[in-house]
Amino acid sequence: MSILHIVNKSPYERNSVERAVEYLRDGDRLLLIEDAVYAVIRGGKAASLIDGRNAAVLGPDLAARGIAEEKMIDGIEVVDYAGFVDLVEACDKTQSWL
């Protein structure tokens, strides 16, 4: 049973990203939205948490916060709202780390 782990809190303020990553199992996906998108900034301490974890990130939330593509670490999938829905569909259930 695959789980889509959704995080919306800044990794610099809460431990939600860190904890969600620890709960990731094979076949699970991690989706960063709202303030959690700050985790993708290259050179940031939080980037190491999600590096190599096949994380997805919501594009409109990146743009709102001024995080350009070249500021991101490699291996992150940027999705739009339709891509968000696709991820929800592709996984058996979702877990929101509030």
Partner 1 sequence: MATKKFMYVNRRAPYGTIYAWEALEVVLIGAAFEQDVSLAFVDDGVFQLMKGQDTSGIDMKNFSPTYSALGDYEVTKIYVEKESLEERGLTLDDLQHLVWEDEDDDWAEKDSIRLVSRAELAEVFAGQDVMFNF
- Contact positions vs partner 1 (CB under 8 A): 8-10, 12-13, 34-35, 38, 41-47, 59-61, 63-68, 71
Q: Least distance from C-beta 74 to partner 1, angstroms? A: 14
Whether residue 54 contacts residue 75, with contact meaning beta carbons closer than 8 Å, is answered with: yes
Q: Which of 91, 18, 16 is nearest to 53 (CA)?
A: 18
| Nearest distance, CB of residue 41 and partner 1, angstroms | 4
Other C-beta atoms closer than 10 Å to the C-beta of 80 total: 11
- Residue that the structure tokens 């998108």 belong to: 37
Strands 77-79 and 3-7: unpaired
Least distance to partner 1 from the beta carbon of 88, Å? 18
Identity of the residue, 19 or 45, whose beta carbon is nearer to partner 1 in the bound complex: 45
Q: Using the minimum distance from each CB to partner 1, give the nearer residue, 86 or 92.
A: 86
